[in-house]
Amino acid sequence: MILTLALLFALQTQAPAQGSALIQDEPLSVPAIVYPADAKKARIQGSVQLQINVDATGHVTEVHALGGPIPLRQAAIDAYSQATYRPILVKGRPAPAIITTSVNFTLQELPPDTDQLVDVQFKPLQANCQELSRQHSPDALPACRKALDMASHFSPGFELEAHATAYNDVVLLLTADGKKSKDLPEAGVLADQAIDLITPVAHTARDVAHTPAVAVAYITRCEVRSLAGDLKGAAADCAMAEETLTTILHDYPENERAGNYRVQLRETLQLHAVIADRDHHPFEARKLRNRADTI
């Protein structure tokens, strides 16, 4: 059976810190908690224990995870950071409070959700697109458009790498004739849409979320901008893809797909070097090629 989620909430209490009262009530409204897509896909479930600091007005000031599965903690923290509680009076005056809440993430056997139904249809379409592309078949572009259209039905954040790759598959076919391609403007639009796809995950504390989807999206736009003559924009996109792939390889050197990421990085560096040469930066191009040769 395909798995989806059900969220259960239980409120526990602990002794308040000095100067803090104890709130017995639950939030005025149950926080909306989103089950993390990666955790859901990996079938991770369990209970996350939170410590919630509330000010005298009943608004949450801080939330800390005390325990529970790491992939689920941030979702619980984000949700309860928006909670509001009834203010409590201590000796007739509003007082701050501390509570602990247990958030249970539970996967139950239910009918397939929308994303899983889309995925079942999308995967064979993408496989057909890529096989026809390898064969240089005239049916490749319609097949890849069909796969991209199906990918558009995914929820935001679900199967990002596959969705970004679907954009790349179509763009590569549209730009097969290089600068002379009459489809270059459409390819540019699709390349921008690929960036829009990954933008929600591309702004973290490290500025860029280092995921394969981000790398694919920036490689796609780098290729299109290079063909369109936007050399500075292309170089910037290549650099973003290189940073992303380098970080993935550094953080996950034993990943089963590390070989694929190294190939992507080498080819992106080589493309970046061509762009640097065209933009009259031979020294930079030489450095990029030397780096590509070491990968």
Helix axes 160-174, 114-134, angle to 10 degrees: 30
Which of residues 11 and 232 earns the better pLDDT score? 232
Class of 114-293 in CATH: mainly alpha
- The percent of residues in the chain predicted with pLDDT above 90, rounded, is 51
Q: What is the DSSP letter of 93?
A: E
Give the per-residue pLDDT at 10: 32
Q: With 70 as the cut, is the pLDDT of residue 228 above it?
A: yes
Q: 3-109, superfamily in CATH?
A: TonB (3.30.2420.10)
* Range scoring the smallest mean pLDDT among 22-36, 74-88, 130-144: 22-36
Structure tokens, 266: 């080498």
Q: For 117-127, what is the mean pLDDT?
A: 91
Which of residues 221 and 37 earns the better pLDDT score? 221
Q: For 211-220, what is the mean pLDDT?
A: 92
Which of residues 182 and 17 earns the better pLDDT score? 182
Q: What is the pLDDT of residues 126-184, one digit of tens each?
A: 999 999 999 999 999 999 999 999 999 888 778 889 999 999 999 999 999 888 889 99
Amino acid in position 106: T
Closest CA to 216 of 261, 247, 175, 182: 261
pLDDT, averaged across the chain:
84
Q: For the chain, which residues make up each domain, given as ranges?
A: 3-109, 114-293
3-state SS record for 157-207: CCCHHHHHHHHHHHHHHHCCCHHHCCCHHHHHHHHHHHHHHHHHHCCCCCC
Contacts 24+ apart (CB under 8 A), 125-128: 125/150, 126/151, 126/162, 126/165, 126/166, 126/169
Strand 97-109 relative to strand 60-67: parallel, antiparallel, unpaired? Answer: unpaired
Give the per-residue pLDDT at 12: 36
* Range scoring the smallest mean pLDDT among 19-28, 132-141, 222-231: 19-28
